Amino acid sequence: MEDAYARSVPEVLDFFGVEPSKGLTDSQVALHAKIYGRNELPEESRTPFWKLVLKQFDDLLVKILIAAAIVSFILTLINGETGLTAFVEPFVILLILAANAAVGVITETNAEKALEELRAYQAEVATVLRNGGFSILPATELVPGDIVEVTVGCKVPADMRMIEMLSDQLRVDQAILTGESSSAEKELESTVATNAVYQDKTNILFSGTVVVAGRGRAVVVGVGANTAMGSIRDSMLHTDDEATPLKKKLDEFGSFLAKVIAGICMLVWIVNIGHFRDPAHGGFFGGAIHYFKIAVALAVAAIPEGLPAVVTTCLALGTKRMARLNAIVRSLPSVETLGCTTVICSDKTGTLTTNMMSVSKICVLDSFHHGPLITEYSVSGTTYAPEGIIYDNNGLQLELPAKLPSLFHLAMCSALCNESVLQYNPDKACYEKIGESTEVALRVLAEKVGLPGFDSISSALNMLSKHERASYCNHYWENQFRKVSTLDFSRDRKMMSVLCIQKHTQIMFSKGAPESILSRCSHILCNDSGSTVLMSASIRDELESRFHSFAANETLRCLALAMKLIPMGQQSLSPHDEKDLTFIGLVGMLDPPREEVRNAMLSCMSAGIRVIVVTGDNKSTAESLCRKIGAFDHLEDFTGHSYTASEFEELPPLQQTLALQRMALFTRVEPSHKKMLVEALQHQNEVVAMTGDGVNDAPALKKADIGIAMGSGTAVAKSASDMVLADDNFASIVAAVAEGRAIYNNTKQFIRYMISSNIGEVVCIFVAAVLGIPDTLAPVQLLWVNLVTDGLPATAIGFNKQDSDVMKAKPRKINEAVVSGWLFFRYLVIGAYVGLATVAGFVWWFLYSDGGPKLPYRELMNFDTCPTRETTYPCTIFEDRHPSTVSMTVLVVVEMFNALNNLSENQSLLVIPPWSNMWLVGSIALTMLLHVLILYVPPLSILFSVTPLSWAEWKIVLYLSFPVIIIDEILKFFSRKSYGMRFGFRFRRNDLLPKSERHDK
């Protein structure tokens, strides 16, 4: 029954055919169970493990690599090669791909846990009325029409419509659905609100929420998937994960690279058709296969095999740095996504605020003798920790607040007229509440006021352990007085009272709504003398004015406290005793904003990131909080910037689009609205980060580009998120964004480094093929360069220091190419030099080396016809391993110098020296050590077809390699002087790599 909240109690009972005094009969239960099903969330079909594994290989670059590995392996076997060398290349490629796939499978498996965690919020048992009698049954056996009794501490087992109130009030903590910090009061009357959200459905008990006060009966109107919890599950189930911006750019780069590779491979093969019939190849077919092997080697050279592993490693290193900032990353790709976030949709309660009610203002009568003088005190401290300072009107600290009579009695009343518990949790290292947030706030106030007596009481309290300090002052008052009777809060009185005895004195302490307490007060306590005076009309008017100011202007939740002497011997209280009270004071409390939030939000704005506060609270409360934060001071008026969910839904589509571009506050929302907001922003090509902590936030967290859960939040929210804030602090998001931007900059640097290196390898093979000289590098040598010599420095580039102005730049556009325009030209130049230097090393050995044959260049070009004609040299010199070793070493060393070029995109090595990143220096040293090992250790040199080099050969390697630094320094100089930008106008389009598609919807 979807509209039970709008129906009267008799209508709902008639709909299910149930009598409120007897409940359902067994036959009705069986019929309803058949119609509506079981009261449990259905199990979702899990993606088979083998499908998850195969999904990781659904990438064009990966498919090309696998094909290249298989073809290389087959051709090696066709040529009759056996042994370890035949398996090295395909084995290493597949090992890299398997490691990358494992990371992907683990990430996707974690995402499915959110749906499983949702089951933890289902109640296990329920007290049900059937066949005229109550019994405790498993909650899964409930059916619509069942009448269920709930009381304090009960977890609501299904969506239910209230039908009877068995206490003065019934309050439910439904924060997991609405995010509101205070409990919601339930009533019997039907709701007339149009487009009612959860907060408006005051007669509905929602599945998974907890009763915190009172007792009542309700009829089940929704079970299983047809509950509020079920709708959240369905929303999560139908939310597709978005590809991260970097993943999209890498996919585009892969498609672009695949086309280039295919074109160059075909070109090399076609260019050499004339050589197919050379006798050295054993015929046309043999020549075709030989040059096809060269084309495959070219593919291996062009594909950066180490890229997935290096990206994963760099992101993993970033997660460690972010963990130190209290941002725990659950999904590696989300690290980079933070860097291009354009909008942060921030939950209010618990993220911008502490989610802990705290007394911030106190109002008492200071003096009456010099004319009525009302004074206010402010209270610091924004958590449940009993740590805070009370300040007077002038902002001066009160050294001993308990010496002031009004504050003294205020603390006494707060401790005694209270049913909550404040305790210290050593496991979480924080103070926690049991009971109503407002009552716990009063307990904390009593601790801050302290105790009367010695001047050293403050320092003595600070010496207590945290467990003892939690309620030391409250326990003092509870030991001083004995509670005799309690008059519970009721909706008509809007107050509660307790009768306490101390020696020969009986005092009634009362607290409640200010209007109720004030109307029952005949006297008021003076703070200067401790005397009581008659409550005059002027004092009453002034107190009411302060109350309205607290509530309206500062949106504080106000309570008034009072007391009354009761004649000795009275053992119980009645509402008739709640008159002629003595007014003690007025307290204003709120869920306070975190102290760090203001600066964090200003940092977001300077970084070009818009913040939208999203909350289930009402509009005025949320707007007041935004003003307190101070980050929205630039908005003179919230008109056009603040919308409730229903107001936004009523706007025409065009106005909704405009509203989204200006929105700063979104109130009275429920789960579907949060997800809708994320989708709408993504349609406008925004990169959206969504924060949340409740079950209600899970669908939006899953849908957002990056979902950020609170460390104190629900397990469901954490499982649906990409990142968890250990300290629940919005400021940690800003620090994580800065880290994400730095990680992307470093990721971009090592991608560019690998591209330029691979361009060099392609140029090397292509030039050798065009010139008709022997193969300069074997495929296994190319693989060594790609995986080991490229991989280590590329990973170390990820340790480049964060730029000082990283949070002053606007977010990068989602369609920004990794390498574009002038920058791509720069790396073409570098790549071309790398390739030509490698070929030059090979040719040098044949033509000029003292250890080589010193052949004429023509002889080198006609190497393949050597067996068919007379020569002055043996044909076996073309099988010598020296020339390819020189080429391979040139390629390794030139790429080490090129790695130094990537310490910065445009800054000279004279400004950012190599030792600014010692990890890079260390990786270069380790890479060279590994390379020397394969040259001089016999088993490895045989495996990689290399041989030791002489000092003369090493000098040529250095001469050919070092100029890459000079070339890049010149190109960086032009970049800094903006010549690069002018050059970019010569291209018809801004970037040579394909632009990104519109944001996936």
Alpha helix segments (H runs only) across 212-283: 228-237, 245-271
* 347 is an active site residue: yes
User: Per the structure block, which two tokens stand in for 453?
Assistant: 């007596």
d(CA 711, CA 429): 13
User: Per the structure block, which two tokens stand in for 870?
Assistant: 């007379």
To the nearest 5 percent, what fractions of the chain are helix, strand and coil?
Answer: 50, 15, 35
d(CA 969, CA 975): 10
d(CA 74, CA 86): 9
DSSP letter, residue 808: T
Alpha helix segments (H runs only) across 463-596: 466-469, 472-480, 514-519, 537-548
Q: Do 173 and 155 touch, CB atoms closer than 8 A?
A: no
d(CA 301, CA 305): 9
Single-letter residue type at 968? D
* 767 SS3 class: helix
* 499 SS3 class: strand
Q: At what angle do helices 405-416 and 472-480 cross, to 10 degrees?
A: 90
Q: How far is CA 43 from CA 40, 118, 699, in A?
A: 9, 11, 17
d(CA 838, CA 760): 8
Angle CA 801–804–806, to nearest 5:
90
d(CA 341, CA 266): 41
Angle CA 159–160–161, to nearest 5:
140
For the chain, how big is the Rg over CA atoms in Å?
Answer: 37
Closest alpha carbon to 761 in 857, 830, 845: 830
Q: What contacts 239, CB < 8 A, 6 or more positions away?
A: 675, 699, 702, 703
User: Per the structure block, which two tokens stand in for 222?
Assistant: 């929704």
d(CA 849, CA 36): 88
Q: What are the beta bridge partners of residue 374?
A: 365
Q: Where are the beta strands (DSSP E) in 671-738?
A: 688-692, 706-710, 723-725
**DSSP calls for 282-325:** TSHHHHHHHHHHHHHHHHHHHS-TTHHHHHHHHHHHHHHHHHTT
Closest alpha carbon to 181 in 687, 683, 618: 618
* 720 SS3 class: helix
Closest alpha carbon to 320 in 335, 341, 342, 337: 335
**DSSP calls for 419-470:** --EEEEETTTTEEEEES-HHHHHHHHHHHHH--SS-TTHHHHHHTS-HHHHT
CA 644 centroid distance within chain: 25
Residue 362 phi/psi, 5-degree rounding, is -130, 135
Q: What contacts 6, CB < 8 A, 6 or more positions away?
A: 190, 191, 192, 196
d(CA 430, CA 447): 16
In the set 59, 159, 347, 591, the catalytic residue is 347
Q: Do 325 and 742 touch, CB atoms closer than 8 A?
A: no
User: Per the structure block, which two tokens stand in for 400?
Assistant: 């001993």
* 876 SS3 class: helix
Catalytic positions, please?
Answer: 347
